[in-house]
């Protein structure tokens, strides 16, 4: 994992540590903005990420099939978000997607590794962070450990890995 950047590792640690204050922070946002405004802001953030990524791959003149596959990943991510019961888990879908993208991006800098191993190490990193995140929540009296959340985090990270992979492998 020595090829992972400080930003990627730091973001993974942020995801783990934020479990301790995420619910309190979300309660503050709901009290301040209201539940509907918070949901709209979240959806706007998702669509802004989609727009920036789409402009990025168009600017780099990637083939249409890459753009299409990327849009499918975003669609699957959106469906995954809509299936999450709690707002914090909706946020995790985006966080783990970004983490997966960053991990594979970093590992592509390792020239001496087979492509398959870069994907496998990226997914292993996502799984590790997912288990550490849920394990940390297990220690907190107001949070719980759920394997379904680890699976959701893995799927979300996998979508981020796929997005990066579409861009890197043409």
User: Is 61:140 a contact under the CB 8 Å cutoff?
Assistant: no
**Cα distance between residue 70 and residue 142, in whole Å:** 37
What predicted TM-score, i.e. pTM, was given to this entire model? 0.88
pLDDT tens track, the chain, 170 positions: 578 999 999 999 999 998 878 878 888 888 998 888 988 988 898 889 888 988 887 888 888 888 889 889 999 999 999 999 888 888 899 999 999 999 999 999 888 889 999 999 999 999 999 999 988 888 888 778 888 999 999 999 999 999 999 878 76
Minimal CA–CA distance to 160: which of 129, 139, 133, 138? 129
Tally DSSP H helices, then E strands, for the chain. 7, 0
Please report, in angstroms and rounded to a whole number, the separation of the first and last CA atoms in the chain: 25
């Amino acid at each position: 994992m020595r090829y992972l950047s400080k930003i990627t590792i730091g973001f993974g640690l942020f995801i783990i540590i934020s479990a301790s204050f995420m619910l309190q922070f979300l309660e503050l946002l709901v009290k301040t903005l209201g539940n509907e405004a918070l949901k709209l802001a979240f959806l706007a953030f998702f669509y802004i990420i989609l727009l920036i990524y789409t402009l990025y791959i168009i600017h780099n003149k990637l083939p249409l099939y890459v753009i299409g596959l990327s849009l499918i990943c975003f669609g699957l991510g959106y469906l995954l978000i809509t299936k999450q019961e709690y707002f914090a888990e909706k946020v995790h879908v985006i966080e783990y997607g970004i983490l997966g993208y960053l991990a594979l991006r970093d590992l592509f800098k390792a020239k001496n590794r087979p492509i398959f191993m870069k994907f496998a190490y990226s997914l292993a990193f996502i799984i590790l962070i997912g288990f550490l995140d849920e394990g940390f929540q297990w220690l907190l009296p107001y949070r719980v450990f759920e394997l379904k959340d680890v699976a959701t985090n893995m799927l979300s990270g996998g979508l981020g890995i796929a997005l990066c992979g579409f861009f890197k492998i043409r």
